[in-house]
Chains A and B, each alone.
Chain A
Amino acid sequence: MNFSPLLLLLLAPLIAIVFILLKAPAQMTAGIAALFNLALSIGLLFIYPAAQGGYEWEMNVPWVNLPGLPPINLHVGVDGISLPLVFLTAIVTFAAVAISPGFIRRTSEYYCYLLLMSLGAMGAFISLDLFFFFIFHEFALIPTFLLIGIWGAQNRQFASFQVTIYLMAGSLILLAGLIALVMALPAPARTFDIVALQAYVTVHPIAPAAQDVIFFLLLIGFGILVGLFPFHSWAPPGYASAPPATAMLHAGILKKFAIYGMIRIAIPMLHDGFETCLPLILTLLSLNFLYAGFVTLAQKELPTMIGFSSVMHMGYLFLGIACWNIIGVTGAVVLMVGHGLSAALLFGLSGEITHRSGENRFAELGGLAQRAPLLAVLFSFASMASMGVPGLANFAGELMVFFGSITAKLWIPIMSEGHGIPGAIFTVIAIYGTVLTAIFQLRAIKHVFYGAMPARYDPHAASGETLASPGMTDVSTLAENVPYILLILASLIIGFMPFLLIHIVEPSVSLLPFMPSLR
């Protein structure tokens, strides 16, 4: 049994939690663990032998063997698809810890829960066993509940219960689907090991009728977790109420678990089911663009708007994997990283704005660029990243998804004899989505940073009045800026040099089963 360096990624937060419980300074300890993980994950990105595209740093230990239960292995390993997500987890965790206020009440608990959330996401991405893949994601459920409940903003009570119960329902449907997948195999072949399962299913595919049912369950389960229309209603109010760091971790990383699961498990192992459900997926994802897009336009509060926009952007990821060709899926993986960075930025900055101005309604905000120019610059960068402006990571991903969806020749049959909707329409809808994003992001910038500034944010003008808040402060110190600059920098590097990421992702994507070859 060789020791995999990937386990260090899990050990670091655990050790940090132990130290925090032993009364070490909480933010510092959590920050050190996050920084260690960030450094390690960047190191792994560099030394990963990208050309082969296989699993690296594997470790496989028999774990559970009970009578009547298919064997469960502690199997970890990463390939070009999961490694970028490991990096994303590390960088967003670091940013989330760094932007958290150091003087928050019940400090040590707060940082322990943040680390547990990040640990859950990290564990899910490095697991190659369905059992661990599932339970690591579920790790985050209760910490998320407590984080929203204890440190959340308005309406936290309702939001925390709604998010937790919605996600639990999604997880249990997902669990039923995963178990159905394992149990669909004949008894001796059953295993929870993803690699072994994939190898078996490639040779002996599951009966198509069973595939349809199981894929549908997985689609609903993953769909709830990612906020696919119409299962998105937990996300915007949840993110609006959550403390910024929690929203960053959840929207930035944990949601990607579902897309990752679709790429790693649902589509390769149940390809017939995928093809049956494809029209449904395409319909739902275009509703993600259109419905969630227009709902976003109508939002009157900054955090809810960002919550809805992050729901809408899941449409691109679903479109990318729905094409199931190399360029589309690679684009989806790049976009997962890009969206993770931009969502983390937006949630973090919207938290700064709300916290510093004491206000989150567009109608009451305005002109803040005068008082907080740096914040305005950072927020504009984040908005541009989210809009998919060239030079930032989202652009690279979105462009590949558009190309992928055009080349995939998707087709929704409506009646027999070749009538149907050509798939290009979904590319058009997706491109229209970027227009919608531009509208609501630019409007947000305008409402928050430009226009007339309400007098209460100006300590000089407001003489004589009682101040609602003592003016408006900017992100001034280096410590306040660094996390955001780091995220923007990562987005810029991937945006300008997408090949850095693509050459890691693409070989692994081309190894996925049923992937049409480009070469």
Chain B
Amino acid sequence: MIPNTYVAYFAPEILLTIWAMGLLLAEAFLSLSPRVVAAWALGGLAIAAIITLCLDSTPILFWGGVSKWDGAAKFFHLFFLVVAALVIWMGDEVQEPVPHGGGEFVVLPLFTTAGLMLLASANDFILLFIALELVTISFYILVAYHRRSLVALEAGVKYLILGGLSSAFLVMGVAYIFGLTGCTRFDLIGARLHDQPLPPGVAFGLLLVITGIGFKIAMVPFQSWAPDVYEGAPNSITAFLSVGSKAGGFIILMRVVLGLFNTQAAAAIWIPVLSVGAIASLLLGNLAAIPQRNLKRMLGYSSIGHTGFILVAIVGAATVLTGKVLPFNNDAQTGQTAVMVYLVTYLLATFTAFIVLAVLERRLPGLEIHHLAGLSQRSPLLSAALALSLVSMAGVPPLSGFIAKMMVILVAWNRGLYTLLGFTIFAAVAALYYYLGPIKAMYWSEPLDETPIRVNRVTSAVLIVLIFLLLLTGFWANSMAPLINGATLAQSSASATTTVALVQH
């Protein structure tokens, strides 16, 4: 039974899905231009954002318990809406114009967003899988959108095959967990497993689920698709994958490992697995990015590195740390805050970089680093925006990436994760080297072609706002407080009784 009042928590997803279907039909029958479709799509996102903002973040289970609303769900809903707005705007305004009749390029992100938002509040493996498929299937189309380009096709095929594979892993894992516990709802599984030794089958299922999620967040060793797909996909979609899809992966990872498998026995499995994944991602992502000459590939590898940093924060957010002496106090809050702060700063830096790349792709012969030579003389705004976003990703203050790195180091100290801390610092230093490469090209090298690159007004304005936010969130991190405060996972597994009470409510 669905109590009427709870529809509100689902309204953004429902609205976006209906809106997107309506737009697709309208585009087909009224032959709207892609510009108009994009404008309507942005309008839909705005309404969904207003609805989300009106909801408070009191934890609640609804729709028979398959979905859960809490601070983290609200944070991620807003996060995905912002991402989608930037993606649709980029697709329409910054990149090559969408051909008439190709409006699905600006409409499909709405479906993806609805899927991501469902993911953010999923409390059931079935819903999680459906949401994930909604996200992935729309991405299959978007990644290979330029279907006449070979690189795009290669990217599309890679993403399709590996995406399918990761879904298969996930479903297999869910099957094991369901088979041994008899339920798919997170809170019920948590209650079953509570203070019991973990059955080996469930442990195996957990590993398979982590593998499936590992593909989404590009965790080593499941990262191999990222650089190729990043290079081949249109810029807006690369940014979408890099921020939206990754954040989607992280929210499920948090729901699964910090919510449902937050027990001593399970933590003994996932903490080492994620720690090794974090170290491998930090090393491979940041070291393999060094020899890259193509900017999009470089950002692909760097995004693997960022996965490593965020994983350190997730391991640090575990309330049960096994086999570790906790020298300092024991608050899980810091770890979750670190994840959210990291994602916000990553969103700002990544979109700044990809908007610049999207502008440049149409003006430069290619996106190799040497093509950037002398950009600072050709367009001070574009070079400043790209430089600041790269420096922010490198974690240099006073840009916002520094706050994120600082939070990760803080979490690692707080929880006594000294090995992870050492690798974090090593990776951050190594990362600076390749982030400086494009800056060197833009600011030192002499331009081959001196013609100034003009940027239209709206794009300039968006870039200036993003630069401002990069500096603001770095220098005054409290500007993120309205988003971050209260944005935590509601703990349910440890207290099954309250969960049941919530369901009956």
Contacts and interface: CB of A to CB of B under 8 A. Distances in A.
Interface of A: 63-69, 72, 109, 134-135, 138-139, 141-142, 145-146, 149-150, 157, 160-161, 164-165, 168-169, 172-173, 175-176, 179-180, 183-184, 186-187, 210
B165 interface: no
A176 B413 contact: yes
Contacts of A68: 331, 333-338
Nearest to B391: A142
Contacts of B428: 168, 172
A66 B484 contact: yes
Contacts of A149: 440, 443-444
A160 B443 CA distance: 13
Contacts of A145: 436, 439
A145 B335 CA distance: 33
A498 B346 CA distance: 51
Contacts of A67: 333-334, 337, 484-486, 488
Nearest to B422: A176
B410 A179 contact: yes
8 contacts: A66-B477, A66-B484, A68-B331, A149-B440, A157-B440, A164-B432, A168-B394, A210-B327
Contacts of B484: 66-67
Nearest to B402: A135
Contact of B481 (A66, A141, A168, A184): A66
Contact of A138 (B329, B402, B444): B402
Interface in B396-438: 396-398, 402, 406-407, 409-410, 413-414, 421, 425, 428-429, 432-433, 436
Most chain B CB within 10 A, of A149, A157, A161, A168, is at: A168
B29 interface: no
A135 B398 contact: yes
Contacts of B338: 68
Contacts of A142: 391, 396, 439
Contacts of B432: 164-165, 168
A203 to B, nearest CB: 19
Given A67-B485, A67-B488, A165-B432, A138 B336 contact: no
* Nearest 7 interchain pairs by C-beta: A68-B334, A135-B397, A68-B333, A68-B337, A138-B397, A187-B329, A169-B429
Given A67-B333, A138-B402, A186-B329, A165 B433 contact: yes
Contacts of A165: 429, 432-433, 436
Contacts of B334: 67-69
Contact of A63 (B402, B433, B478, B488): B478
A69 B409 contact: no
A172 B429 contact: yes
A183 B433 contact: no
A146 B481 contact: no
Given A69-B410, A186-B329, 20 more contacts: A64-B476, A67-B333, A67-B484, A68-B333, A68-B338, A69-B407, A109-B376, A135-B402, A138-B402, A139-B397, A149-B444, A157-B444, A161-B436, A165-B433, A168-B432, A176-B409, A179-B409, A180-B413, A183-B410, A183-B413
Contacts of A187: 328-329, 331
Contacts of A72: 477
B480 interface: yes
- Which DSSP category, helix, strand, loop or mixed, fits chain B's interface? helix
Given A139-B398, A172-B428, A161 B433 contact: yes
Contacts of A138: 396-398, 402
A277 to B, nearest CB: 19
Contacts of A176: 409, 413, 421, 425
B117 interface: no
Interface string B469-487: 0000001111011001110
B328 A175 contact: no
A146 B397 CA distance: 16
- Which DSSP category, helix, strand, loop or mixed, fits chain A's interface? helix
Contacts of B304: none
A186 B329 CA distance: 7
B341 interface: yes
A243 B331 CA distance: 48
B476 A63 contact: yes
A304 B494 CA distance: 64
A187 B333 CA distance: 12
B347 to A, nearest CB: 17
Contacts of B481: 65-66
Interface string B352-383: 00000000000000000000000010000000
A66 B480 contact: yes
A68 to B, nearest CB: 3
B406 A179 contact: yes
A366 B148 CA distance: 69
Contact of B396 (A141, A146, A157, A180): A141
Interface string B439-462: 110011000000000000000000
A269 to B, nearest CB: 16
B468 to A, nearest CB: 14
Contacts of B488: 67
A134 B403 CA distance: 12
Contacts of B478: 63-66
Contacts of B429: 165, 168-169, 172
A166 to B, nearest CB: 9
A72 B476 CA distance: 10
B395 to A, nearest CB: 8
A164 B333 contact: no
Contacts of A168: 394, 396, 428-429, 432
B414 A183 contact: yes
Contacts of A180: 413
Interface in B8-47: none
Nearest to B388: A142
A184 B398 CA distance: 25
A36 B50 CA distance: 49
Interface in B97-148: none
Nearest to A146: B443
A128 to B, nearest CB: 17
A176 B407 CA distance: 11
Contacts of A150: 443-444
Nearest to B480: A66
Nearest to A188: B329
Most chain B CB within 10 A, of A68, A134, A142, A150, is at: A68
B391 to A, nearest CB: 6
Nearest to B429: A169
Contacts of B327: 210
A63 B398 CA distance: 14
Nearest to A131: B406
Contacts of B391: 142
A72 B481 CA distance: 13
Contacts of B333: 67-68
